[in-house]
């Protein structure tokens, strides 16, 4: 027998935010009230590796907001950052003054102040939120979140699914040994993350065999990501513009998510196993990026080590006998020579 469905509670199947959560609300005279607090946060990006980011309500990305088509929504936004901010509700139909572009539709929210946004969630779909104030800094620091508007009735283009996952693609440039992202980086980020987590710290998308699965992804990095799934085919059923017409859907195993875009994919999980789902840019899959590292393929490491040992005996601890245990790769050398301080990030490769 399938699980019983209660006749009270939410009239929709809530989404699962990878390594995240949905923001609670309160009803006030028919208005759904939410409170977002923009503030500095500490995010553990993978086990043992903590980053000092900016986010909302203690986390980067901020909590997911879930509402129903037609809801009147009131968002209190309190600014606990050391500078001004605002929130733009990416993709929403709303009154111009609620669009959150500082210097255009509103003065920025000063540090220490609260601003209130209010509008009706007019169309169902998948949306994002992020600042439109000092954008380069604030998004490089992790300020962003997801917004889902569920359809209020059965929608011809929105299927019911058993599992509904959401995550944001984001990117950081954090030097080894450092905690804070370099905010001036434009393209050459060294951490490509999902909801500010990196492999193996990303929640798996666990489903039952033959579940119908929906995944909603938003891209708030500075480059595109061809997202690829193994063992199944999916269709793109929605964008930030809403559900796609059925005539435009065809089977794919990879779909590109461009900068500032959102893609919603669906498939039947009818093959058992642990299937990979990843960006097909090999640099992003490997993740631990160091573009200034020379190619070490073909280099005679043993001879180099001997030479290095002669010049820098102090770095080699108890001497050359130890080297044999560390293999022949360039990373082993880097590990040996790096001081063992507690700020060191565990190096993980795909
Ligand atoms: Cu990518």
Can you tell me the distance from the alpha carbon of 56 to that of 47, in angstroms, rounded to the nearest whole number? 21
How far does the centroid of ligand 1 lie from the alpha carbon of residue 190, in Å?
Answer: 11
What pLDDT is stored for residue 119 in this prediction? 98
pLDDT at 11: 82
- Rounded to the nearest angstrom, the distance between the alpha carbon of 50 and the centre of ligand 1 is 22
Give residue 273's region: left, alpha or beta (phi > 0; psi -120 to 50): left
User: Ligand 1 being an ion, which residues bring their Cβ within 5 A of it?
Assistant: 225, 279, 281, 284
Tell me, in angstroms, the distance from the centre of ligand 1 to residue 326's CA.
31
Please list the rounded mean pLDDT of every run of 10 residues in the chain (350 residues). Answer: 73 94 96 98 94 97 97 98 98 97 97 98 96 95 97 94 96 92 91 94 96 97 96 96 95 97 97 96 80 80 83 65 44 48 51
Q: 0.75 exceeded by the pTM?
A: yes
Handedness of CA 21, 146, 193, 78 (dihedral sign): negative
Query: According to the model, what pLDDT value does residue 285 have?
Result: 86
pLDDT given for residue 47 in this prediction: 92
CA–centroid distance, residue 192 to ligand 1 (Å): 7
Domains 16-150 and 163-286 share a fold: yes
Question: What's the pLDDT at 9?
Answer: 74
pLDDT for the residue 283: 85
For domain 163-286, which architecture applies?
A: Sandwich (2.60)
221 Cα–ligand 1 center, Å: 9
User: How many A from CA of 206 to the centre of ligand 1?
Assistant: 22
- 3-class DSSP state for residue 88? strand
Q: Distance from the CA of 193 to the center of ligand 1, in angstroms?
A: 9
- Which pairs from 107-110 meet CB under 8 Å and 24+ separation? 108/84, 108/133, 109/77, 109/79, 109/84, 109/85, 109/133, 110/79, 110/84
Domain boundaries, the chain: 16-150, 163-286, 297-350
CA 213 / ligand 1 centre spacing (Å):
22
**Token pair for residue 61?**
């990305």
Q: What is the pLDDT of residue 320?
A: 44
Strand partners, 77: 36, 115
Note the pLDDT of residue 332: 46
User: Rounded to an integer, what is the distance from CA 58 to the centroid of its chain?
Assistant: 15
CA of 286 to the centre of ligand 1 (A): 10
Separation between Cα atoms, residue 103 and residue 130, nearest integer Å? 15
Q: pLDDT value at position 329?
A: 43
At 346 the pLDDT is 54
- Going from the Cα of 169 to the center of ligand 1, the distance in angstroms, rounded, reads 8
What CATH number matches the domain at 16-150, 2.60.40.420, 1.10.1740.10, 3.10.450.50, 1.10.3300.10?
2.60.40.420
């Amino acid at each position: 027998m399938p699980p019983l469905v209660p006749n009270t509670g939410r009239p929709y199947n809530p989404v699962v935010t990878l390594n995240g959560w949905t923001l609670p609300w309160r009803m006030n005279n028919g208005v759904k009230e939410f409170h977002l607090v923009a503030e500095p946060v500490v995010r553990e990006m993978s086990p043992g590796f903590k980053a000092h980011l900016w986010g909302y309500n203690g986390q980067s990305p901020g909590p997911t907001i879930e509402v129903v088509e037609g809801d009147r929504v009131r968002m209190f936004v309190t600014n606990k950052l050391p500078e001004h901010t605002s929130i733009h509700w990416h993709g929403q139909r709303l009154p111009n003054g609620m669009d959150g572009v500082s210097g255009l539709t509103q003065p920025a929210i000063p540090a220490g102040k609260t601003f209130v946004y209010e509008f009706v969630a007019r169309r169902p779909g998948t949306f994002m939120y992020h600042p439109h104030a000092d954008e380069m800094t604030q998004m490089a620091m992790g300020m962003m979140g997801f917004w889902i508007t569920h359809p209020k009735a059965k929608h011809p283009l929105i299927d019911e699914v058993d599992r509904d996952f959401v995550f944001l693609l984001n990117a950081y440039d954090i030097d080894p040994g450092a905690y804070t992202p370099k905010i001036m980086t434009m393209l050459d980020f060294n951490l490509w993350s999902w909801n500010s987590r990196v492999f193996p710290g990303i929640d798996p998308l666990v489903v039952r065999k033959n579940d119908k699965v929906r995944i909603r992804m938003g891209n708030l990095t500075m480059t595109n990501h061809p997202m690829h799934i193994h063992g199944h085919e999916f269709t793109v059923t929605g964008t930030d513009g809403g559900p796609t017409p059925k005539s435009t859907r065809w089977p794919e195993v990879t779909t590109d998510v461009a900068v500032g875009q959102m893609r919603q994919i669906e498939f039947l999980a009818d093959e058992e196993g642990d299937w990979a789902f990843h960006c097909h840019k090999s640099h992003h899959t490997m993740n631990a990026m160091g573009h200034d590292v020379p190619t070490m393929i073909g280099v005679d490491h043993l001879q180099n080590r001997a030479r290095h040992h002669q010049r820098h005996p102090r770095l080699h601890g108890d001497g050359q006998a130890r080297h044999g245990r560390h293999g022949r790769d360039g990373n082993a050398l880097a590990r040996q020579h790096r001081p063992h301080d507690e700020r060191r990030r565990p190096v993980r490769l795909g």
